[in-house]
Structure 1
Amino acid sequence: MAEFRLAKYDTPNFHQGVLTYRDRTVAVVGTRYYGRMALAEPRVIEPPNGVGSVSCLPLEFLDDPDLVAVLTDLAAQTKYRVWAKAELDGPFDASAWPEMSANDIRYWRPDTLGAALFNWWD
């Protein structure tokens, strides 16, 4: 593990464990609530020294079957589910997620499942 990037405030709704794996750096993102995990390009969550801004664009999800398999084995011991890139990059169907705030969905209009599950909404 290279580092943890913890979200200190209301946004984003996920934390990151950034690791160097094989020949690249990836983030294992996990939502604060609801037990969701995925692989993504690492993102800056807090600006350096609290000054400046960070990108709030949707995460870029990654596909690495070997690493996903390891995470899935680990998640089987918890209430977490590891989501695949193909699922997260697919369309978001609000009717399949009744626990999500209808107001947030109307306001933020996520196009993909990943944008809805791992977000920077306030």
Structure 2
Amino acid sequence: MTDLKAFRCACHEAARRTGGELTEFRVSDGPTPNFHQAIIAYPNRKIAVVCVRDAPLMALAVPRAMEFTPAREAGPLTFVDFPDLAAALTAAPGFRLLTAAELDGPIDATKWPRLSQQDMRYWEAQTLGEGLFNYWD
């Protein structure tokens, strides 16, 4: 289980270090999605720091709606690189920040034994990002 307090602190500190503002912290407390989001606002864009609920794995992505109304977004996340924010998050103890290239790449089951191969086949995950950060029930 991910330590929400540690995740929130890491995001606050990273936002402070990079001139952003943590404007929203979205906790996933239902069956889907399987990740939490911290939304960091910059003058020209917003970035979501996403963290898997069951593992200390983070990534940077385009922010997604987590509410059911009017409709919940449920497709794959769009992962992004934001070097300054990535550098600040890399300093967060206890977490691993994955890059957009890693997440947009293929899934190597030997490197990710905790990923359910049955789920991967059923949901037809094509990338590591789809396997790790998803809306599967």
Please indicate, yes or no, whether the TM-score normalized by the shorter chain is above 0.5. yes
The question of whether the paired residues in 1 share the 8 Å contact of 2:102 and 2:128 is answered with yes
Once superposed, which parts of structure 1, at least 4 consecutive aligned residues long, lie more than 3 Å away?
none
Which string of whole-angstrom CA distances, capped at 9 and with x for unpartnered residues, describes residues 11-62 of structure 1? 11101000102421110001111111010000011224xxx42111000001
Q: Distance in 2 between matches of 1:21 and 1:86?
A: 23
Q: 1:13 is matched with which residue?
A: 34
What is the number of residues matched between the two proteins?
Answer: 116
Q: How far 1:5 moved relative to its partner? A: 1.4
Paired letter, 2:127: T
Q: Which amino acid aligns with 2:100?
A: K
Matches within 5 A, 1:1-122: 1-48=22-69, 52-74=70-92, 77-78=93-94, 80-122=95-137
In structure 1, list runs of 5 or more residues that go unmatched: none
Larger CA deviation: 89-98 vs 63-72: 89-98
Q: Which amino acid aligns with 1:95?
A: T
| Partner SS for 1:29 | strand
* Matched residue, 2:9: none
- Cα distance in 1 for partners of 2:125, 2:64 equals 19
Under a length normalisation based on structure 1, what TM-score does the superposition of the two structures give? 0.88
Q: Is the 8 A contact 2:115 2:132 kept in 1?
A: no
TM-score, normalised by the number of residues in structure 2: 0.79
- Unpaired stretches in structure 2, ≥5 consecutive residues: 1-21
Provide the rounded CA distance (Å) in 2 between the counterparts of 1:22 and 1:114. Answer: 27
